[in-house]
Amino acid sequence: MIIDVALSNNFDPESLKVDIENSVCAVIDVIRATSTIVALFGSGVKSIIVAGTLDEAYSLKKAFPDRLLCGEKGGLKPDGFDHGNSPLEFSTLELSGRQAILKTTNGTEAFMKATGSPAVFSLAALNFRNTMDDVLDNALKNKRDILFLCSGEMGKIAYDDAYIAGLAVKYLLSKPHDFIYSDSAKLVLSAVIGDRSLTDALSKSTRAQSLRGVGLGDDIAFCSRLNGYNLTIRAGATGAVKNTGIAGKESFIELALYKR
């Protein structure tokens, strides 16, 4: 079994050491999309549709007006959205039974790039242990490789995502299995070896600096809470929401809670 890491969502599939169509994929956007996804489900949301563009997000809101429209552009809530992309905010809300639409700058694009995988999970520090257990279980049962897909920032490497991928590699190294690790997997592991504090690692990342610049620095400490939620989120078995009436789109990625 091969363990590989895509350092940003702007990757060439030919450059991977694994075939994404035979790999379990864990999407990482710790600051903040995958942390927000955890917080939304933790507050009671039962479904999230991932929008690829702002126009798609607005169109989905028209098609599903009862869904909460959430996300960001440049870190801030776009005009017409119900909420921004703050996991800390969502953790304080009661959203039982609600459904949502999510569009972010980097994370939702990463989910689009992962659609070739037969099993796509959403990984953050907040749901790290639960998700890693399920990622490994799926890979072993189905004889699949594992790909950690870092969302990055505007197509470039983001230290915070690479650090979470490094934690994932460290987790796998603790298991009694003979895995093969790609060079990128070894590279992200070195970040964890050199930076032992998750909170400090995320806090000094460029994206954390950008978040503080728009007055949302409190989200950083929240995103750093390791294993704060005992839940796993996966793209649905069909990975689609159909009959939206949106021209040129027959289906959309839908995230839901996963239980073995």
Domains and CATH numbers, the chain: 2-257 (3.90.1560.10)
Distances (CA, A) of 157 to 11, 160, 213, 225: 11, 9, 20, 22
Please name the helix (run of DSSP H) or strand (run of DSSP E) that holds residue 188, with its range, or none. helix 183-194
Task: Print pLDDT tens along the chain (260 aa).
Answer: 999 999 999 999 999 999 999 999 999 999 999 999 999 999 999 999 999 899 999 999 998 999 999 999 999 999 999 999 999 999 999 999 999 999 999 999 999 999 999 999 999 999 999 999 999 999 999 999 999 999 999 999 999 999 999 999 999 999 999 999 999 999 999 999 999 999 999 999 999 999 999 999 999 999 999 999 999 999 874 444 666 667 666 678 999 999 87
d(CA 235, CA 51): 13
Type of residue found at 166: G
CA nearest neighbour of 256 among 225, 232, 227, 223: 232
Q: What is the pTM of this model?
A: 0.95
Structure tokens that stand for 32 in this block: 């903040």
